[in-house]
């Protein structure tokens, strides 16, 4: 049997019903090396998954901050946060109407 690389041996192990011992014998790679590499791959996947999760949390936090910042710009700085959506929309419409009137008056 030809000598397989570690990744080929792991591919054979994951795609077949062979035990790790049988794959090690067939590929002429030590069983301990295969087991260690397999643990490393599992750890790396778990680590990358947790990193993605952390990145998504940061991204969501930034989005929430941007929305809060936009509401603060409309409602006013550090006013009480007991407002309704309609009051926010009224404020937004008032600001938008002022901009619209000034743009129409300059035409």
Q: What is the tens place of the pLDDT at every residue in 30-89?
A: 666 666 666 666 666 666 676 677 767 776 666 666 666 666 666 565 555 555 566 666
The pTM of the full predicted model, rounded to 2 decimals, is 0.27
Size of the chain, expressed as the number of residues it contains: 107
Q: Which residues of 85-98 are buried (b: 16+ CB within 10 A; e: fewer)?
A: eeeeeebeeeeeee
> With helix as H, strand as E and coil as C, how does 50-86 read?
HHHHHHHHHHHHHHHHHHHHHHHHHHCCCCCCCCCHH
Three-class SS state of 28 = coil
């Amino acid at each position: 049997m030809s000598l397989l690389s570690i990744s080929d041996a792991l591919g054979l192990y994951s795609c077949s019903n062979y035990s790790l011992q049988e794959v090690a014998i067939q590929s002429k790679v030590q069983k301990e090396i295969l087991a260690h590499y397999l643990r490393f791959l599992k750890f790396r996947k778990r680590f990358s998954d947790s990193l993605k999760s952390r990145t998504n949390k940061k991204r969501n936090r930034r989005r929430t901050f941007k929305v809060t910042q936009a509401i603060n710009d409309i409602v006013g700085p550090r006013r009480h946060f007991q407002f309704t959506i309609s009051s926010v929309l009224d404020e937004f419409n008032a600001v938008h109407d002022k901009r619209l009137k000034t743009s129409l008056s300059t035409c």
